[in-house]
Amino acid sequence: MKPARFDYTRPADLAAATAALADAGAKPIAGGQSLGPMLNLRLARPSLLVDVVRLPDLRGVEEGPGGVLFGAAITHAEFEDGAVPDPTPGFLARIAHGIAYRAVRNRGTIGGSLAHADPAADWPTTLAALGAVVHLAGPEGRRELPVEAFILGAFETALGPGEIITGVFVPRCAAGARFGYRKSCRKLGEFAEAMCAVLSDPACGVHRLVVGATEARQLVVTEAAALIADPAGVEDLLRRAGLAGDPATFRLRRAVIGDAIAALARETTPESLTS
Amino acid sequence: MVGPHMDEHRLDEQKLDPRPAKGRGVGASIPRKEDARLLEGRGRFIGDMRFPGQLEAAFVRSTLAHARIRGIHIPAHLKGRAFTHEDMAGVKDILAKTGLPGFRVSAQPSLASTKVRFVGEPVAMVLAETRAQAEDLAEEITVDYEELPANVDMLRTVKPDAARIHEDWPDNVFLVSQVDSQFDGRLAGAPIKVTREVRTSRQCMAPLEGKGCIAVHERHTEQLHLWTSTQMPHIVRSGLAECLGLEERRIRVVAPDVGGGFGWKGLLQPEEVCCAWAALKLDRPIKWLEDRREHLIAAANCREHHYIMTAYAEADGTLLGFEALAHVDAGAYSVYPFSACLEGAQVVSNLPGPYNLPAYRCRAYSACTNKPPIVPYRGVARTGVCTAMELMIDAVARAAGREPYEVRLANLVRPDEMPFTSITGKAFDMGDYPESLRRAHAMIDHAGVRARQARGEPDGRRIGIGYATYCEQGAHGTSVYHGWGIPMVPGFEQCGARLTPDGTLELRVGNQSHGQSMETTLAQIACEVLGIDPDLVNVVHGDTAMTPYSTGTWGSRSAVMAGGAVASACETLGGRIRRIGAHLLQAPVDAVRIEGARVVGPAGSVSFKEVAHTFYRAPQNLPRDADPAGLDLVAGYRPTVDTGTFSYASHACVVAVEPDTGEVEILDYVIVEDGGVLLNPMVVDGQIYGGTAQGIGTALYEEMAYDEHGQPLASTFADYLLPGANEMPDVRIAHMETPSPNTRFGQKGIGEGGAIAPPAAIGNAINDALADLGVELTVSPMTPRRVREAVTAARARAGVRPAGGVS
C-alpha cells in the first residue's frame, strides 16, 4: 500500500500553482485526507502533486457585511476551534466538529472536501444549504459558482483542467436563523449513509434544504419553506428526485430528513444542533 | 541495553534487599510490567526492525477467486527479484491434516502453482530495497488466468454440481462432523417446537499490528532465524522445518513484541515460508509486513457460520431436545496447525453451550469455498454457536410466553450437578452458571428496564434488554486434541527458571504474550511461590532458542498452562534455594522456609541474593556434597485433569433502537464472569473489555461481504467497520471466583470469553426492542440496514401501511 512514484512541488503563490497544474498529470493536494489514501491504494496516480495547502491566497479570510470568504485551505479544525469568524450563529463550528475524527480535521480543508465532492461528506451538504459560493481560479481566470452548481455528481465537480478552488463564500445569516442537521453514520466519524441539512432564515427570506449521501448529485431545495412547514412532502420530494431507492433506504432518508426538519423547531441555541 | 531507561534497573542494594512483595502475588491487580515499554514507544515490533542488506517483499496476489493459472509473465529485468512456485522447487506445500474420518486434505502451496483459490492468494513474490519499490516491480508482473466458477456461498459449494476447488475431491467438503445423542421420535410431540435460521458474517481479525516477518540467514551459526509476529514460535518452527526440509536445530523462530494476535498469528503463513526460502536462496534478510489492504482482502478468514435449528421444549420453555444443521465457511485451504475443521467440529460439540440438553443432534459441514482459509479467531466457534443458541433460547421464551431470562435459568446446568458432563461429553469443572445470570439480571436492573420500556422513550426509540450465557473451555490438552490428529497436540508445558548471580529471577516460557500481560502475571506467580517481587522477575517468551517447547498462546491456555509451569519451576527452584540457604543458616533443610525472597530459619535468614552469590561466586562456602544442578532448571506441568477449564459468564445489555433508521445504541452492558481464581483481576478486566469490543464488532459492525465472483467488497476500514472508542459502552464487570479443582491456583482460561457473548446479548436486546413490531433479526452483524429491512418486512407481513404508504 505504497503510492506509485510521483513528483511533488510546493509553489509560492497562486500563479505558480496554476502554472504547475497545467501539467496534464498534475493534481493539487491540500490536507490529503482523501487523496492520501487514494495514492496509497494506487487509485490516484498523478505524476505531480502540487501542494496548495500553504498558498497565502488559500489561507486568507475576508469578512464583509454580506458574509465571509474563507480561503480553501482553512482546515476543519480551524472552523471547529472558532479560529476563523463565523457568519452563521455557530453552524460552521458545529458541523466541523462532527467531521470524521480530530486527526482528519487537523489536516482536512474545506476546499479539499468540496473538490473531492464525496456525496456523504459534511461540507458539500452544509455549504449548499447555507447558499455558499465556490471561488475558482484557473488558466481561464477566476470564476464563482454556487455550491449546487459546482457539484455535478458523486465525486464530480465543475472544476476545469488546471483549475483549483481558492475559497468559499458563506453568506451571513440573520440572528434568528436556524439550522437543522442530521446524518446517519454506522459509527462515529464514518461517512454518512443518509444526511440532510436545512437552513431556515426567515429574516433573510431563505429556506433551503439539502439531501446528501446520495449516489449522485446532492438534492438541493432552494425554496423549502413549504416543506419545512409540512414535512409530509418529503416522500414526494424523494420520489421525484429518484431518491426513493429500495424501501429500507427510503425509510432511512425519510427519517433523516424528518429529523433535520424537526431539529429546526428544537433549536434555540447553536448548542442544540443535532449532528 | 544502554539507554535512559536502564537507570530504573540499576543494581540497587536497597532494591535487592527483601522487599515487601506481600500483596503482589496471585490475585493482586498490580500494574502491567510491560506497559512502560509499550506506552513509551520502546517496544520492538517487526515493523521497527531492519537488518543490514535487507530486502522487502511485496506479493502479487490473485485478483480472481477461482482460476487456473495459464502463465505468469515476469519481465526479464526482474530475474532474481521475482519468484514463483516454480522457483521454489523442493519446498513442500503446507499440509494440515486431521485424523478425523472423512477429512479431505488440501495442500496449500506457499505461492499458487496451478490454480488460485481465493482473491488475495499469493502468486509471486517480488523483492526490492523498499516495499514501495517492490510494489512498483510487482505491478510489472502479469498473470494469465482461466477463470473458473467461484464458490462463494457455503450452502451452495457443498452441492454436487459446484465447481471443484480441489480437483481430486469428490465434492467441496472438508469434513462432516456430527453428533446424535438421545434424539428420538418422542420429541415430535413437544409442546414447543421452534425453528430458526441464523447466519453470522465473515470477519477479519484486524489486530493493531498486522502480520509480518523477517527471515535472516545467520551464516555463522548455519541457522535460519525467522523473526515473526506470531503467537506460536515453536509450532511455526516445526511447520517451517517440514516445508523447507530443514532440521529444527537449524531454525530459530523469535516473536518480538507482537501487537495482538486473536488467532491470525496462530498459524504458519505462506508468506513466512516464502521469506524464509528467499533468505536462504539469496543469503539476504527478507522482510514482509502485511498491510491493511492485504489483511482485509487476503485475511478475511473467520466467523462465517450458518445454522438451521429446531428447539423442542415443554410449554414452560424447558428444553427437551435440540437439532441443528450447520455450515461453516472454511475457505480454500486447511491452515497449519489448526486445520480447516476445528471450527466445524467445535460447532457440533459446543452448540449446547452451558445448557442441560436431554437430546441433541447436530451435523456440521466444513465447507470449502473460494475465500481465505478459516483461522480460529478469539472464541473460535463459540461466538457463532453462542449467537445461534442464545437467539434460539429467546425464541423459545417468546413461544413459551416467558421472560428469556427465566427460560435460561430453567435450562442452565445447576451448581449441584457440577462437575457435569454435557451431552457432547464436555466435562464442566465447577461453577454456578445460574448465579451469574441472576447477578447480571440484578445489575442490569431488569425490572427498571421493563418499566422504562413500558413508559416509552421521548425520542421515539425502542428499548430492549438481552441476555446471553456461555461457558468457555480453555487450556484443553492431550485428551481433547489427540483425537483430532492435527499437526499439534498440546501436552506438557515447561518453564525455565534461573536465579541470577545477584538473586533476581529469570523465567523462560515457550508461549508468547501479545497483549495477555504475561510478563506481569507470570511474574506474580513467581512472587506467590517464592515471595520475590514481580519487578525483580524477567519473563522471557516467544523465542525457540531461549525457551522450552510450547504449542504457544491460543485457546485461553496460558494462565493455566504457562502459569502452572512457572509455579512448578519456582517450586523446584525454591527447593534448591532452601538447601543452600539451610547450609548458610547452619540449620536442617526441613527447618527452613522461603518467605519474601529469603530463606528463613529458626534463628535468622538469608536473602536470595546471598544464596545466589554463594552458589555462583563463592562456591567455596558450600559443602563438598552440594547439589551441582544449581539454580537454573526447567520444570514441567500438566493439570490433574486436562479436558480444560470452563470459565463462564452471563452478559446482559440494554439497547435503544431507532426503527426507521435502524440505528442501535448500547445503553448499558454488564458482564458477570467466573474465571476461577484471577491471577490479576485488572488484567482479566482488560481481557474482557477487549474481547467485548470485538464481540460488539461482530454484533453490529464487522462484515466482509463478497460479490458473486468471490471479490471481497471491503479493502479499507472505511468499508470494513471496526467499533471505535465511541462505540464502546461503559461495560460493568462483576467477578465470581469459583476455583477450578484441576489447576494449580484454581485459575481458569478467560482470554476469549469477552468476544463470545456480545452478538447474542445485543441481538436478543435488539429483538426484544422490536418484538412488538414482529421483528426478529437472525443475521449478524445487525447493521442499520438489516434492522430497517427487518422492520420493513415485518410491517409488510403485518399488512400495516405506514404513513405515506411505504412498506
pLDDT tens string A112-168? 999 999 999 999 999 999 999 999 999 999 999 999 999 999 999 999 999 999 999
Please indicate if any CB of chain B lies within 8 Å of the CB of A121.
no
Residue B320 near residue B358 (C-beta atoms within 8 A): yes
Nearest Cα residue to B122 out of B274, B239, B302, B244: B274
pLDDT at residue B277, rounded to an integer: 98
Q: Which of B637, B653, B687 is the last residue of a domain?
A: B637
- Pick from A3, A190, A255: CB nearest B721: A190
Interchain proximity B804–A254, CB inside 8 Å: yes
Grid cell locating B557? 491456555
Pick the residue of B788, B792, B795, B800 with the most A CBs within 10 A to test the interface with A by mutation.
Answer: B788
Residue A41 falls within a domain, yes or no? Answer: no
Nearest Cα residue to B532 out of B10, B7, B25, B11: B25
Residue B687 near residue B450 (C-beta atoms within 8 A): no
Please indicate if any CB of chain A lies within 8 Å of the CB of B697.
no
Pick the residue of B137, B661, B779 with the most A CBs within 10 A to test the interface with A by mutation.
Answer: B661
Q: Which amino acid is at B453?
A: Q
Q: Which of B622, B637, B652 is the last residue of a domain?
A: B637
The pTM of the full predicted model, rounded to 2 decimals, is: 0.95
Q: Which residue of B has its CA nearest to A236?
A: B804
- Pick from B292, B715, B792: CB nearest A248: B792
pLDDT at residue B351, rounded to an integer: 98
pLDDT at residue B34, rounded to an integer: 96
Mean pLDDT by 10-residue block, N- to C-terminus, for chain B (807 residues)?
A: 42 41 89 95 97 98 98 97 97 93 95 97 98 97 98 98 97 97 92 98 97 97 98 98 98 97 97 98 98 96 98 98 98 96 95 97 98 97 98 98 98 96 94 98 98 96 98 92 88 97 98 96 98 97 97 95 98 98 97 97 97 98 93 96 95 97 98 97 97 98 98 95 95 96 95 97 98 96 97 86 43
Report helix angle B758-769 to B681-696, nearest 10: 50
Residues 6+ apart with CB under 8 A from B493: B509, B510, B511, B548, B550, B561, B562, B564, B565, B636, B637, B638
Rounded alpha-carbon distances, angstroms, from residue B179 to A173, B189, B284, B344, B758: 71, 22, 52, 12, 27
Q: How many whole angstroms separate alpha carbon B147 and alpha carbon A178?
A: 57
Could you tell me if A202 and A251 lie in one domain?
Answer: yes
Rounded alpha-carbon distances, angstroms, from residue B155 to B195, B199, B450, B546, B618: 18, 11, 39, 47, 72
Could you tell me if B327 and B471 lie in one domain?
Answer: yes
Could you tell me if B591 and B669 lie in one domain?
Answer: no
Assign residue A238 the CATH number of its domain.
3.30.390
Could you tell me if A89 and A189 lie in one domain?
Answer: no
Interchain proximity A187–B661, CB inside 8 Å: no
pLDDT at residue B224, rounded to an integer: 98
Residue A106 falls within a domain, yes or no? Answer: yes
CA end-to-end span of chain A: 33
Angle at A103 between CA A100 and CA A106, to 5 degrees: 100
Residues of A in contact with B130 (CB under 8 A): 2
Assign residue B522 the CATH number of its domain.
3.30.365.10
Residue A157 near residue A124 (C-beta atoms within 8 A): no
Residues of B in contact with A42 (CB under 8 A): 135
Phi/psi for B752 (5° steps) reads -100, -20
Count of the separate structural domains present in chain A: 2
Could you tell me if B383 and B507 lie in one domain?
Answer: no
Interchain proximity A2–B718, CB inside 8 Å: no
Please indicate if any CB of chain B lies within 8 Å of the CB of A194.
yes
Could you tell me if A121 and A187 lie in one domain?
Answer: no
Could you tell me if B516 and B393 lie in one domain?
Answer: no
Report helix angle B433-443 to B404-411, nearest 10: 160
Residue B393 falls within a domain, yes or no? Answer: yes
State the nearest Cα–Cα gap between A20 and chain B, in angstroms: 25
Q: Which residue of B has its CA nearest to A234?
A: B804
Residue B26 falls within a domain, yes or no? Answer: yes
pLDDT at residue B2, rounded to an integer: 40
Q: Domain range for residue A83? A: 58-171
Assign residue A99 the CATH number of its domain.
3.30.465.10
User: A34-48, A190-204, B3-17, B542-556: which range is least confident on average?
Assistant: B3-17
Per residue in B294-308, pLDDT (tens digit) is 999 999 999 999 999
Phi/psi for B239 (5° steps) reads -65, -40
Q: Which of A137, A171, A205 is the last residue of a domain?
A: A171
Residue B51 falls within a domain, yes or no? Answer: no
Could you tell me if A63 and A135 lie in one domain?
Answer: yes
Please indicate if any CB of chain B lies within 8 Å of the CB of A187.
yes
Residue A120 near residue A100 (C-beta atoms within 8 A): no
How many other CB atoms are found less than 10 A from the CB of residue B239?
24
Q: What is the 3-state secondary structure (H, E, C) of B123-152?
A: EEEEEECCHHHHHHHHCCCEEEEEECCCCC
Residue B126 falls within a domain, yes or no? Answer: no
Phi/psi for B81 (5° steps) reads -115, -25
pLDDT at residue A267, rounded to an integer: 66
Could you tell me if A191 and A165 lie in one domain?
Answer: no
Per residue in B358-380, pLDDT (tens digit) is 999 999 999 999 999 999 999 99
Q: How many whole angstroms separate alpha carbon B695 and alpha carbon B755?
A: 4
Could you tell me if A116 and A188 lie in one domain?
Answer: no
Could you tell me if B398 and B461 lie in one domain?
Answer: yes
Q: What is the overall mean pLDDT for chain A? A: 94
Q: Which of B596, B621, B637 is the last residue of a domain?
A: B637
Per residue in A213-272, pLDDT (tens digit) is 998 899 999 999 999 999 999 999 999 999 888 889 999 999 999 999 999 988 654 444
Nearest Cα residue to B147 out of B785, B711, B713: B711
Q: Domain range for residue B608? A: 4-30+492-637
Could you tell me if B418 and B442 lie in one domain?
Answer: yes
Could you tell me if A67 and A136 lie in one domain?
Answer: yes
Could you tell me if B690 and B793 lie in one domain?
Answer: yes
Residue A31 falls within a domain, yes or no? Answer: no
Interchain proximity A187–B783, CB inside 8 Å: no
Long-range contacts, stretch A223-231, CB < 8 angstroms, 24+ apart: A224/A198, A225/A200, A227/A261, A228/A198, A228/A200, A228/A261, A228/A264, A231/A257, A231/A258, A231/A261, A231/A262
Residue B226 falls within a domain, yes or no? Answer: no
Interchain proximity B724–A186, CB inside 8 Å: no
For B638-661, letters b (16+ CB in 10 Å) and e give bbebbbbbbbbbbbbbbbbbbbbb
Please indicate if any CB of chain B lies within 8 Å of the CB of A118.
no
pLDDT at residue A246, rounded to an integer: 87
Could you tell me if A196 and A141 lie in one domain?
Answer: no
Q: At B584, is the secondary structure helix, strand, or coil?
A: helix
Residue B506 falls within a domain, yes or no? Answer: yes
Could you tell me if A182 and A210 lie in one domain?
Answer: yes
pLDDT at residue B456, rounded to an integer: 96
Q: At B687, is the secondary structure helix, strand, or coil?
A: helix
Cell 469443572, residue? B429
Q: How many whole angstroms separate alpha carbon A61 and alpha carbon A58?
A: 9
Residue B140 falls within a domain, yes or no? Answer: no
Residue A48 falls within a domain, yes or no? Answer: no
Interchain proximity B658–A193, CB inside 8 Å: no
Residue A76 falls within a domain, yes or no? Answer: yes
Residue A128 falls within a domain, yes or no? Answer: yes
Q: Which of A171, A186, A214 is the last residue of a domain?
A: A171
Interchain proximity A191–B718, CB inside 8 Å: yes
Residue A212, pLDDT > 70, answer: yes
Could you tell me if B716 and B728 lie in one domain?
Answer: yes
Grid cell locating A222? 432552494
Q: Which amino acid is at B618?
A: A
pLDDT at residue A273, rounded to an integer: 42
pLDDT at residue A245, rounded to an integer: 81
ipTM confidence: 0.94
pLDDT at residue B21, rounded to an integer: 61
CA atoms within 13 A on the CB side of B433: 28
Interchain proximity A248–B132, CB inside 8 Å: no
Q: Which of A136, A171, A206 is the last residue of a domain?
A: A171
Cell 481465493, residue? B118
Residue A254 falls within a domain, yes or no? Answer: yes
Could you tell me if A156 and A190 lie in one domain?
Answer: no
Could you tell me if B713 and B744 lie in one domain?
Answer: yes
Q: How many whole angstroms separate alpha carbon B781 and alpha carbon B723?
A: 12
Interchain proximity B718–A190, CB inside 8 Å: yes
CA atoms within 13 A on the CB side of B31: 8
Count of the separate structural domains present in chain B: 2
Q: Which residue of B has its CA nearest to A252?
A: B661
Residue A3 falls within a domain, yes or no? Answer: no
Residue B177 falls within a domain, yes or no? Answer: no
Q: At A77, is the secondary structure helix, strand, or coil?
A: helix
How many other CB atoms are found less than 10 A from the CB of residue B410?
20
Could you tell me if B454 and B518 lie in one domain?
Answer: no
